[in-house]
Amino acid sequence: MYTEIILAFVISAILTLSFNWIIKRSGSSLYTSIRGGTPRAVGIAPFIVMLLFLPLHYSYLIALIGIFAFLDDLIGRKKTKILPFEIGQLSRGIGMLAIAVIGFFYIGPASILVALMIQPLNIADMQPGAACSTVIIMCIIALILAMITGSGYYIPLVILAACIGYAPLDYKGKIMMGEIGNHSFAVALGIAYAVLGGIYGSTSSIGYSTGSFLGVLALFIITSFVIAFIRRKNLNIFLEERLRIKNPYFGDYVMDVLTGGGLGDLIRKIIIGKREIIIKRHIFKILGFRRLVYNPQAYINN
């Protein structure tokens, strides 16, 4: 097992350097102007590693989300006259739906939460090193839980090795995971916690482990709080200056992690339309409801 983990680390590091070089020189849309020029979607390196080293039936889910995520990376924020949303958002939405549906046959209802894990990891990738730190922290927690049971080490070790091999350039802000990276890590972490939860939990009347569902639910909640904490300084600036939410609370940071980005705004647009909802009760402000109901459509003409 440990030979495979070492190989996963080495291959991830080599592929990261290789794709960084390739994207820089490709002249494609994957080389962005961010930070003076940054290769995006270098997360294809850990994606390939997880595809190679995770158990076969789980690697199918990684491959599935990777395909749709990479399409999102390639297409980006392009719109059409026919669709009311970006093509990249559509690709991501299809990928999440596919994970929720197909993943059901592997891990039961926990697949829904695994699909939802994509949102917080996607938000984390907006800050150098934030997504890597989140993955590393959650892998360490998973390994501690695995130590208690004496099993379930392999999957979090593969994820950790793939992340550490990729991470150095990300922490320096020289590369970005892109959707293919953060989506793949989200699904892989979900699988790891579903497996660990299955060890702890009982089986429900429909034949699926309740522990798997609770394990991924715990992952989803803890990950959101971890990302909100890691990104708290940037989120404070973003919420105050861009969204005009004055003196934001930690609850606002968590809500941004859970509902921020283009997909969250699309859902708000569908549900709220162009209305502006004002939150006045202090308890709801503490819980982050100002960010939850913030609707950019209400300010388009302002």
The per-residue pLDDT for range 203-212, each reduced to its tens digit, is 544 446 788 8
pLDDT of 272 > 70? The answer is yes
Beta bridge mates, 209: 203
**CA 173/CA 171 separation, integer angstroms:** 5
pLDDT of 180 > 70? The answer is yes
Pick left, alpha or beta for residue 209 (phi over 0 → left; psi -120 to 50 → alpha; otherwise beta).
beta
Residue 261 confidence (pLDDT): 79
Output the DSSP codes for 58-111.
HHHHHHHHHHHHHHHHHH-S---SS-SS-HHHHHHHHHHHHHHHHTHHHHTTHH
Shortest CA distance to 50 belongs to which of 152, 186, 142, 170?
A: 186
CA dihedral (72, 182, 50, 229) in degrees, to 10, reads -170
Question: Could you tell me the pLDDT band of residue 4, with boundaries at 50, 70 and 90?
Answer: very high
pLDDT tens-digit readout, 118-131: 999 999 998 999 99
Please give the model's pTM, rounded to 2 decimal places. Answer: 0.90
Single-letter amino acid code for the residue at 300: I
pLDDT tens-digit readout, 14-35: 999 999 999 998 877 888 888 8
Single-letter amino acid code for the residue at 186: A
**CA 280/CA 205 separation, integer angstroms:** 44
How would you write 22-66 as a 3-class SS string?
HHHHHCCCCEECHHHCEECCCCHHHHHHHHHHCCHHHHHHHHHHH
The answer for residues whose C-beta is within 8 angstroms of residue 226's C-beta and 6 or more apart is 133, 134, 137, 138
For 265, counting Cβ atoms within 10 Å of its Cβ (0-12 exposed, 13-18 middle, 19+ buried), the class is middle
Residue 302 confidence (pLDDT): 52
**CA 29/CA 10 separation, integer angstroms:** 28
Rg (CA), the chain: 19
Mean pLDDT rounded to a whole number for the chain: 89
**Of the ranges 40-54, 97-111, 263-277, which one carries the lowest mean pLDDT score?**
263-277
